[in-house]
Amino acid sequence: MRAVANARGYAMQSAEASTAALFDYFEEMIAVAFGSFGAIEAFCNQTIVERAKGPITVARKKGEEALSPEQVERDVPTDEKVKCVLPALLGVSTPAGKSTWDTYLGIKRIRDAVTHFKRRDQARHAEKAHETAALLDLYGLDCFKLPEDAMKVLRYFQPDALRWMVNPTWQRKPAGPARSPSTGT
């Protein structure tokens, strides 16, 4: 990728030969964004359904409403589950206003941007070149950051983490040389 001048200022451009690899990279990073947010969402839903002993009271525009755990799983936004429902259910303070909340919002922002692509998420006009764009964020992102950040959010709610949460198999390790499964070489 390199910066190239155009009529509106500068844009990032890849060489023709590397375009396929760049699309592969974006495909993988978008999957990482979906998977990282999905892990938080799945954790919320599983915890709510498994741990709730009865109806859960949630704030609504018309006042408080008691919902079954299954209704909460289906109808309550993940933001509210992370900020209000899980803390009440697990007896922990809300992550809102803490670095955990900012971490969660960062994952959500990237996931939302690549789920609902808007023109502004693909590129910026010259006058807004200083603002980040989703694809540029993905391009500059370490592929382990989003899963590691998702684990930070989960650990906030599960400080006595299970072994797989403390040392997941995808944890950063130097890759060894590729080996053939049939020959071992």
Q: Which domain holds residue 127?
A: 19-166
Question: In angstroms, what CA-CA distances link 131 with 11, 42, 61, 118, 144?
Answer: 13, 31, 34, 14, 23
Tens digits of residue pLDDT in 136-185: 777 778 888 899 999 999 999 987 766 555 655 555 555 555 454 555 55
Residue 106 within any structural domain of the chain: yes
What 8-state DSSP symbol labels residue 82? I
Residue 96 within any structural domain of the chain: yes
Residue 28 within any structural domain of the chain: yes
Q: What residues of the chain score a pLDDT lower than 50?
A: 178, 180
Question: How much of the chain, in percent, has pLDDT values that exceed 70?
Answer: 69
Please report the pLDDT score of residue 20 as a whole number.
82
Residue 184 within any structural domain of the chain: no
The number of domains in the chain is 1
Q: Within the chain, how many helices (H) and strands (E) appear?
A: 9, 4
Q: How far apart are CA 167 and CA 124, in angstroms?
A: 39
Residue 9 within any structural domain of the chain: no
